[in-house]
Amino acid sequence: MEICNLSIKELHQGLIQKEFSTREVVESFLERIYRLNPELNAYLEVFEKEAIEQAKEVDEVILTSKELSNLAGIPCAIKDNILVEGKRCTAGSKILENYIAAYDATVVKKLKKQKAIILGKTNLDEFAMGSSGEHSAFGATKNPLNLEYVPGGSSSGSACATAAKMCAFALGSDTGGSVRQPASFCGIVGLKPTYGAVSRFGLIAMASSLDQIGPLAKNVEDAEIVFEAIKGKDEKDSTSCEFDKSEEKEPKKIKIGIPKECFGEGIQKEVVEGLKNVVKILEQEKIYIEEIDIPSLKYGVACYYIVMPSEVSSNLARYDGIKYGMSTLTKPDTQDLIEVYFETREKFLGKEVKRRIMLGTYCLSSGYYDAYYLRAQKVRTKIGLDFKEAFKKVDLILTPTSPTLPFKLGERLEDPLSMYMADFLTVPANLAGLPAISLPFKKINNLPFGIQLIAPAFCEKRLFNFGKFFEQICST
């Protein structure tokens, strides 16, 4: 039995039935990390000593108690923009290279309470800004399924580590598709919960009204187990809330809508063919499918790339060499304060981060605020209303996760517009605050292809139920 191939449920059963010890589980994953990570660059830091100590504690619990939480002894990885007390948290940036977290993020606290074992921190596009995993200050992450291709971003390391079986599951953050798109590119499951379903306390902010922490996992059941562990209201995050959406339809009675934009301009022909194959399989199962119109969907990327950079400009203003982060300040008595700001940000922030800060600062500047930011917020409201109308007709909305198949490393690095268009199908769910999940389907041209399901707010259960049904019919 290859321990690293097992799902969370299988690992849990194996630990309870004493088929293997927690230490054996942890050592199995660590061996894989040390063998594969030098080439993949998924992990920025590995917590070997702490992981083995935690494994001993869980093994003692197993010996003395029959009660064991679903995640006890399960090895996981944490994206390096989520705080783990006493550990470095770089957000993939040189400006935070020496930052040590003073406390645990709420999601980390919840995982520790369940006795999940954190193996380490994973790589990401700097400050979660990127769709390829190539914008990290600590080197690009590679796709474990094909080393010449990108793993997607910004949760590149978390997706890569999960797909390469260097952890049982991982946490990422999703601002415009940063969990779902890398999940699609790496052939795994990725969930973006409803905005507010999971606390953002302890997540280094990129765009606060869009950010959401979500799991990357081998299958839908694993993603559900992790989501159940990390969800819920947190007094330290005023946007978080409790919810209960227990009443759900059977998967076969679900009505699915496919936006007509999924077959239009900007969608790679191989992706369109992949979507048509998904539709055929669902139709064979007598699932109701109709083409729907979400008029404002085509404005999603344009709206997102005004709202997001504006919030980035505000959130990243704190990294100035005085309040937070690395600094060029060497001669306090002679160096001008403005000079410190400029030199620090020039030296320690990457090209993509600077680009988005400048975009956002421009959109918020006097004379342009109404023309850009305010108008984008009105479009954002319209996108939410259009989704609301669509969900009066259907229960779930189906799209490809990405308009393209995975692309090669370096292929789009100097073309930011084509990189931004990789978010075309994922950003609307963030703008509307809706839950969405990426599910792997059959490979196309030997490259992973994922589909996205979007549900009404707080209907994660619907996504999980239909996602498990979809996995079942695809495996037969």
pLDDT in tens, 372-382: 999 999 999 99
**Strand 447-454 to 43-46 pairing:** unpaired
For 152-180, the pLDDT digits (tens) are 999 999 999 999 999 999 999 999 999 99
Fold of 1-476: Amidase signature (AS) enzymes (3.90.1300)
| 8 A C-beta contact, residue 404 and residue 419 | no
Confidence of residue 353 (pLDDT cuts 50, 70, 90): very high
Helices (H) and strands (E) in the chain, counts: 15, 11
Structural tokens at position 186: 């790496």
pLDDT digits (tens, 9 = 90+) for 223-255: 999 999 999 999 999 999 987 766 678 999 999
Give the pairing of strands 75-79 and 117-122: parallel
The 8-class DSSP code of residue 42 comes to -
Among 242, 253, 259, 209, which Cα is nearest to 389's? 259
pLDDT greater than 60 at residue 9: yes
CA neighbours closer than 13 Å in the CB half-sphere of residue 439:
28
pLDDT exceeds 60 at position 455: yes
Average pLDDT, the chain: 95
222 Cβ contact list (under 8 Å, min separation 6): 7, 8, 9, 168, 169, 189, 215
Q: Evaluate whether 450 touches 443 at the Cβ level (below 8 Å).
A: no
Say how many C-beta atoms besides its own lie within 10 A of residue 49's C-beta. 8
| Cα(356)–Cα(308) distance, integer angstroms | 8
Q: What is the pLDDT averaged over residues 189-195?
A: 98
pLDDT digits (tens, 9 = 90+) for 405-422: 999 999 999 888 889 888
What pTM was computed for the model?
0.96
- pLDDT bucket at 207, cuts 50 / 70 / 90: very high
Backbone angles phi and psi of 439, in degrees to 5: -120, 135
Cα(299)–Cα(282) distance, integer angstroms: 29
Contact 448, 184 (CB under 8 A): yes
CB atoms within 10 A of CB 461: 18
pLDDT of residue 329: 78
In the sheet that holds 288-292, the strands lie side by side as 43-46, 117-122, 75-79, 169-173, 213-217, 189-192, 436-444, 447-454, 396-400, 255-259, 288-292
What pLDDT is attached to residue 246? 64
Domain residue extents for the chain: 1-476
The owner of tokens 């953050």 is 173
Q: Which residues are catalytic?
A: 79, 154, 178
DSSP lists the bridge partners of residue 146 as 143
